[in-house]
């Protein structure tokens, strides 16, 4: 096929051949919540993104189902996503936007759905079928549920768990509370609580959140993240009563710069956007015998110093591993909002009348999704 014939395909031709939505956007709620949390955001996203997207708010982990473990919730979400994919034959691409705990659940889900088989298509197939859609070059790093992974977005997600000073702001930074809560977290918020405080399973077993920063034989946590065209973290710099800035932006303490007080690019309360390139590291995250001893201390509150050492070492290992993929980090500040203390739920506008200050954040999310979609359409039109 001559290059002239390839160049004759336009974006209008691509649109003409579409039959139903080809991009699945999965919205994942946080702890103790439900799909209704996305009512406002779903409406805005539909309006701004158009009919090319199938926007689906997950409902399989509503309310108390979020308490029986990130792993179990992740498997349920994987089954739900596969069901949607099987019912919608036109789908070719997939993205996730998740709030709070939902980001960790989504990370587990994509590892379950990940396949290392590439989606690179034979260009000749596009000409043989007369369908320009077949000319799209998909991810060479694998697929998610058989679809091409595009965007992985989290809003206020505790990627590093609730470890370290003020990473669970509800405890007010009190050393006493930060010492007492981890061992008893499971009594109040189930298996999920112990996983968030890295006290789950036996002392000699690496905590789930640490395991979720590397590939294992069965679940490819890092490879599945790397398969996405872009990964974006939205993090509150202050006023978030549940999730600290450091854990939601995957940064070390010294990497937290003084935030700007001015909104950027016309998106109200979005104060900083930066891209962090991948950082090479040697080997998988480490969990030495000393960590097992310190974990046992964290589970029983028997030794404050060992607990602090455990959390410090685990945080560094998780950051080091998660930085092996690039992230766009978006800092959000509701300091000028009427109700800044609702920052956590403002991020996804849980209730429009109460959390409407987050409208600029959702607009930023929508435009980020749209930007990737337009870039893919232009690639297909110019191949």
Direct distance between the N- and C-terminal alpha carbons of the chain, in angstroms, rounded to an integer: 12
β-bridge mates for residue 143, sequence order: 115
**Secondary structure of residue 267 in the 3-state scheme:** strand
**DSSP letters along 106-149, please?**
HHHHHHHHEE----PPPHHHHHHHT-GGGG----SS-EETTBEE
- Considering the chain, what percentage of its residues have pLDDT values greater than 70? 80
Residue 260 placed within a domain = yes
pLDDT beyond 80 at 321: yes
pLDDT recorded at residue 9: 42
Contact indicator for 139, 148 with CB cutoff of 8 Å: yes
The pLDDT tens digits of the residues spanning 257-314 come to 988 889 998 899 999 999 999 998 878 898 888 888 888 877 776 556 777 788 889 9
Burial class, 358, CB count within 10 angstroms (exposed 0-12 / middle 13-18 / buried 19+): buried
Residue 21 placed within a domain = yes
pLDDT recorded at residue 122: 34
With cut-offs at 50, 70 and 90, classify the pLDDT of residue 377.
Answer: low
Residue 149 placed within a domain = yes
Angstrom distance (rounded) from CA 54 to CA 88: 9
Average pLDDT over residues 310-333: 95
Angstrom distance (rounded) from CA 366 to CA 139: 21
**Of residues 132 and 257, which shows the higher confidence score?**
257
Weakest mean pLDDT among 3-17, 55-69, 144-158, 271-285: 3-17
Average pLDDT over residues 96-102: 98
Domain count, the chain: 1
The whole-chain average pLDDT of the chain stands at: 85
**Of residues 167 and 205, which shows the higher confidence score?**
205
pLDDT beyond 50 at 381: no
Minimal CA–CA distance to 55: which of 70, 43, 68?
A: 43
Q: Which helix (H) or strand (E) holds 331?
A: strand 327-332
DSSP character for 164? S
DSSP character for 8? T
Q: Backbone dihedral region of 98: left (phi > 0), alpha (psi from -120 to 50 degrees) or beta?
A: beta
Angstrom distance (rounded) from CA 77 to CA 61: 7
Residue 364 placed within a domain = yes
pLDDT recorded at residue 117: 77
Residue 319 placed within a domain = no
With cut-offs at 50, 70 and 90, classify the pLDDT of residue 23.
Answer: very high
pLDDT beyond 50 at 225: yes
pLDDT beyond 70 at 129: no
Q: Which helix (H) or strand (E) holds 99?
A: strand 93-99
pLDDT beyond 70 at 230: yes
Angstrom distance (rounded) from CA 51 to CA 48: 10
Residue 249 placed within a domain = yes
Weakest mean pLDDT among 6-15, 101-110, 138-147, 343-352: 6-15
pLDDT beyond 70 at 157: yes
The pairing of beta strand 53-57 with beta strand 148-155: unpaired
CATH number of 259's domain: 3.40.50.1820
**Of residues 170 and 353, which shows the higher confidence score?**
353
pLDDT beyond 70 at 219: yes
Weakest mean pLDDT among 23-37, 108-122, 334-348: 108-122
Domain housing 269: 1-160+221-278+327-383
Residue 183 placed within a domain = no
**DSSP letters along 16-79, please?**
HT--S--EEEEEE--TT--GGGGHHHHHHHHHHH-TTEEEEE--TT-GGGGGS-HHHHHHHHHH
pLDDT recorded at residue 118: 62
pLDDT beyond 50 at 136: no
- When mean pLDDT is compared over 128-132, 254-258, 292-296, the highest value belongs to 254-258
**Of residues 14 and 287, which shows the higher confidence score?**
287
- When mean pLDDT is compared over 121-135, 204-218, 281-295, 303-317, the highest value belongs to 204-218
| Phi/psi of residue 345, nearest 5 degrees | -85, -10
**Of residues 159 and 283, which shows the higher confidence score?**
159
pLDDT recorded at residue 183: 58
Torsion of CA 143, 147, 153, 155, to 10 degrees: -110
Average pLDDT over residues 183-195: 76
The pLDDT tens digits of the residues spanning 351-373 come to 999 999 999 999 999 999 998 87
pLDDT recorded at residue 159: 98
Contact indicator for 337, 345 with CB cutoff of 8 Å: no
Residue 237 placed within a domain = yes
pLDDT beyond 50 at 329: yes
pLDDT recorded at residue 358: 98
């Amino acid at each position: 096929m001559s290059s002239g014939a390839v160049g004759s395909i336009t974006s209008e031709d691509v649109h003409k051949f579409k039959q139903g939505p080809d991009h699945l956007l999965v919205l994942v709620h946080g702890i103790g919540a439900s799909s209704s949390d996305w009512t406002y955001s779903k409406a805005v996203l539909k309006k701004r993104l158009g009919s090319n997207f199938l926007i689906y708010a997950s409902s399989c982990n509503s309310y108390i189902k979020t308490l029986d473990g990130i792993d179990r919730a992740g498997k349920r979400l994987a089954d739900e996503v596969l069901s949607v994919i099987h019912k919608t034959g036109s789908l070719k691409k997939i993205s996730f936007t998740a709030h709070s705990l939902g980001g960790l659940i989504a990370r587990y889900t994509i590892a379950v759905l990940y396949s290392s088989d590439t989606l690179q298509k034979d260009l000749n197939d596009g000409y043989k079928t007369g369908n320009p859609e077949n000319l799209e070059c998909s991810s060479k790093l694998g697929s998610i549920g058989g679809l091409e992974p595009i965007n992985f977005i989290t809003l206020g997600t505790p990627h590093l768990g609730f470890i370290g000073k003020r990473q669970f702001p509800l405890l007010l930074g009190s050393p006493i509370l930060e010492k007492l809560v981890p061992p008893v977290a499971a009594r109040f918020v189930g298996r999920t609580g112990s996983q968030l405080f890295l006290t789950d399973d036996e002392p000699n077993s690496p905590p789930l959140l640490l395991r979720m920063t590397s590939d294992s034989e069965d679940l490819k946590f890092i490879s599945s993240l790397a398969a996405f065209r872009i990964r974006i973290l939205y993090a509150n710099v202050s006023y978030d009563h549940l999730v600290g800035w450091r854990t939601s932006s995957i940064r070390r303490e010294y990497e937290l710069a003084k935030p700007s007080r001015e909104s950027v690019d016309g998106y109200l309360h979005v104060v900083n956007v930066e891209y962090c390139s991948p950082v090479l590291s040697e080997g998988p995250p480490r969990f030495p015998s000393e960590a097992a001893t310190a974990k046992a201390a964290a589970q029983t509150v028997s030794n404050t110093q060992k607990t602090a050492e455990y959390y410090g070492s685990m945080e560094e290992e998780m950051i080091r591993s998660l930085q092996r993929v690039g992230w766009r980090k978006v800092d959000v500040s509701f300091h000028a909002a009427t109700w800044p203390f609702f920052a956590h739920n403002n991020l996804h506008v849980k209730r429009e009348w109460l959390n409407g200050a987050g409208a600029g954040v959702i607009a930023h999310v929508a435009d980020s999704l749209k930007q990737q979609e337009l870039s893919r359409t232009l690639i297909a039109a110019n191949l």
